Amino acid sequence: METLIGKKAPKFTAKAVINGGEIIENYSLEQFIGKKHVVFFFYPLDFTFVCPTEIIAFQDKIQEFDKREVAVVGCSVDSEFSHWAWLNTELKDGGIKGVKFPLVSDLSKTISENFGVLAGEYDYDEDGKSIFVGAPVAYRGLFLIDKSGVVRHSVINDLPLGRSVDEALRMVDALKHFEEFGEVCPANWHEGELAMKATAEGVASYLGKLHK
């Protein structure tokens, strides 16, 4: 699969539910160009099992993303009406009521396909009829998109494997640190820790300080 890293994120305009219950017709990530970084993540389906744990985990940390000027946006192949119903169902009943960040509807599966996370593909049967082979849902893909609309980080998990919201925040911090200071972020780096210059001397200095 061709990576999107270092390339402009695929453009789309789609229906979405925002603010926990308002359906809009023409939602696009283009609104954030020049203004915010974006964490755009895919999940397989509404009213499932691992998916609500991830979505609620993002909502629980939404203030951390807000203070970093990062927009969090979710997307699945469900309709906007399914999103709306799920967002208005109590947690105790399997819903995600209280989630306020946007959920995009990718009913046509074209957004998932363009981002390379569709868990299957269209093909033809022996009679020449179009069929879908695989699971017609999105893998658990996550894309960190900078203010210029370029994808700087991505991770794609198989359907059973939930993601780490803390890791998404760590990658946001690493990107913002690089953008501000020009320093690269070594393994397991967290905000406030030692970073380094991308030179042989910088690596040597970092490792020397780390292991002295």
Residue 58 in contact with residue 51, Cβ under 8 Å?
Answer: no
Q: Which of 4, 51, 144, 156 is catalytic?
A: 51
Active site residue 51: yes
Give the CB-side neighbour count of residue 134, counting CA atoms within 13 A.
15
How far is residue 25's CA from residue 60's CA, in Å, rounded to a whole number? 27
Query: What single letter denotes the amino acid at residue 115?
Result: F
Phi first, then psi: give them for residue 193, nearest 5 degrees.
Answer: -90, 170
Other C-beta atoms within 10 Å of 11: how many? 11
Q: Give me the active site residues, please.
A: 51
